[in-house]
Amino acid sequence: MSSIRNYGVMPLFLLLLSVGLWPLTGNATDAKDEFRVVVTIKPLHSILSGLMVGVGEPELLIDDSRLPHHFTPSAEQRQSMQQADLLFWVGPELEASLAESIEQLGSSTEVIELLSHSGLKVLPSRHQQQQRDPHFWLDNRNLMIMLDDLTLLLQQMDTKRTHLYERNRQTVLARLARIDREYEYGYRGMKAGLGIQYHDTLQYFEQAYALKVLDHLSGSPTQPADAKGLLRLRERITSGEAVCLLSERGFPNKHLALLTEESDINHGVLNSFGIGLSPGPDLYFELMAHNTDEIKRCLNADMVQAKEARRAAQQDMLVAAEGIGKGTFLLTDHLGRLVSNESMLGKFAIVYFGYTYCPDICPTSLQILFQALNELGDKAARFQPYFITIDPQRDTVAVMKNYVEYFDERLIGVTGSEAMIERVAGQFKARYERVEEASDDPDLYLMDHTASLYLLDPSGRFINKFAHGISPLELAAKLNELIE
């Protein structure tokens, strides 16, 4: 397979993946356990690390000793690149010296230029015409856009661990969504003050969250500052127009003293490349939190209010991080045996919330489920279906037993107290409510409820949710992907 090394043309590799038009014939790792991924810079390495939890740690190519703008790989690093199944880099606007080494790679390494993702919001450089601004990760929404396609790419190249990548995608997405909620309310309408930047790295952040930066001295560490720019920024500082000057950790800023001397301007140090932070799944979120606090402090924002916004967003994250299906519970199956979160481990669990008096949706969903399992043949033994009632008032053990026997002996019907059913449904984020019918009989009512199938892996971790209406063949194909 040929690798992607386009610099001027934007390769549509992720679009092709999504419609099955990018065949992975040379690098898929069905026959080997080791799957080697190399990522150039820390923020993107962090996202890939999050997607690969339980699979392995991607290799970080560029450490804190050099900025990516000046990086040239050593002989040892070039060998690592050649041995990689996947190599992720931003693009020539950031890692210009890496382009030659990438061109020399063989076809066994699939090279992905992330800045060329067709779905990203890619902004032009404000300092160099015909160039793209490479700092796209500072708009976390770009990472949310890219996340599904990165997951799909990993799944297609490492098919043995498809369910792990999907599980990890859910976790990373929840963390990115938490950032988005915090910033949406933390920056819009902030009028505490205006700032300037030494190096222009915040364009994506500005546009995403309506943050106004007045001016910039330099476009990148490779672009020297000019006297005219220095005088312009100095005037904005001395006049009091700007209350904040933001620089980047690790970037050269030899004119910083000239800008700040005899001035009471605030100085904030951003860390957009995660310099000094430990690589791994948490790094991206640590650097974004650091940048957030530095910007707000530098602009004289209300830090008490800022902490409240973060606390609320983090609480949302904790609920999301708990995970669908996570938590303890104790219920009863259709034979009177105990069913708990522990007893459901060991097989892939397929969980459906419904009720036996359901007129059409529940029977249809269960029929689709068992048609899909029948398509799998002997492989179906690796899956255990559960039917959890959301109507325990009528769905007693005896009623559930009759219902299960009507459908399939492989089904486990589950009931319990109203409080415990409510708790379990909440853990799965499954919604339900009673709908009264116009009748004198109090037992004649319907239940409005979530009609999705929830899939957990053998360790009890949520993998996916299949919406009502999926066909038996499509469901069978998705289940089969997990066990091939």
Last residue of a domain, one of 129, 159, 184: 184
CA distance 365 to 374: 14
pLDDT tens profile 35-65: 999 999 999 999 999 999 999 999 999 999 9
pLDDT of residue 433: 87
Domain final residue pick, 152, 184, 216: 184
Domain that holds residue 229: 186-292
Domain boundary among 292, 309, 340: 292
> Which pLDDT score, from 0 to 100, does residue 411 have?
96
d(CA 460, CA 466): 17
Q: Tokens standing for 21?
A: 């038009």
User: Residue 191: which CATH number?
Assistant: 3.40.50.1980
| Amino acid letter, residue 18 | S
Same domain membership, residue 157 and residue 278: no
Task: Judge residue 453's burial from the number of C-beta atoms within 10 Å of its C-beta, 0-12 exposed, 13-18 middle, 19 or more buried.
Answer: buried
Q: In terms of domains, do 441 and 400 share one?
A: yes
User: Is residue 121 assigned to a domain?
Assistant: yes
pLDDT band (50, 70, 90) for residue 23: very low
Indicate whether 303 belongs to any domain: no
Strands (DSSP E) along 337-452, which ranges?
338-340, 348-354, 383-389, 412-415, 432-436, 445-449
Residues 349 and 380 in one domain: yes
Q: Are 129 and 193 part of one and the same domain? A: no
Q: What angle do CA 375, 376, 379 make, to 5 degrees?
A: 160
The three-class DSSP label of residue 337 is coil
| Reported confidence tier of residue 201, pLDDT bands at 50, 70, 90 | very high
Based on the domain organization, do 110 and 127 belong to the same domain?
yes
Asked whether residue 307 is assigned to any structural domain, the reply reads: no
Q: Are residues 44 and 168 in the same domain?
A: yes
Q: Are residues 125 and 192 in the same domain?
A: no
Quote the tokens at residue 391: 């109507």
- What is the average per-residue pLDDT within 379-397? 96
Residue 304 falls inside a structural domain? no
- Give the length of the chain: 484
Q: Is residue 245 located within the same domain as residue 170?
A: no
350 with 478, same domain: the answer is: yes
**Residue whose tokens read 């104790």:** 330
Lowest mean pLDDT among 9-18, 172-181, 281-290, 426-435: 9-18
Instruction: State the average pLDDT over residues 356-370.
Output: 91
Residues 123 and 246 in one domain: no
Confidence of residue 191 (pLDDT cuts 50, 70, 90): low
Distance CA 3, CA 23 (A): 12
CATH classification of the domain holding 478: 3.40.30.10
Are 56 and 78 in the same domain?
yes
Give the whole-angstrom CA distance, residue 296 versus residue 278: 24
Going by pLDDT thresholds of 50, 70 and 90, the confidence category of residue 3 is very low
CB-based contacts of 195: which residues, under 8 Å, 6+ apart? 213, 214, 242, 243, 244, 245, 246, 268, 295, 298, 299
Query: What pLDDT shows up at residue 483?
Result: 82
For residue 5, what pLDDT is reported?
Answer: 39
| pLDDT tens for each residue of 283-326 | 999 999 999 889 988 988 766 666 665 565 555 544 444 467 77
318 inside domain: no
70 or 314, which is more confident? 70
- Structure tokens given for 135: 């700092």
Q: Number of structural domains, the chain?
A: 3
Let me know if residue 384 belongs to a domain: yes
In degrees and rounded to multiples of 5, residue 321 shows phi and psi of -70, -25
What are the Cα distances from residue 305, in Å, to 26, 285, 293, 300, 358? 53, 20, 12, 12, 48
Q: How far apart are the first and last CA of the chain?
A: 23
Whether residue 309 lies inside any domain: the answer is no
Q: In what order do the strands lie in the sheet with 453-456?
A: 338-340, 330-333, 412-415, 383-389, 348-354, 453-456, 462-466
Are 201 and 170 in the same domain?
Answer: no
The DSSP result for 94-119, as a single string, is T-GGGHHHHHT--TTSEEEEGGG-TT
Checking if the pLDDT of 421 tops 80, the result is yes
The CA-based angle 239-242-247, given to 5 degrees, is 130
**Structural domain includes residue 300:** no
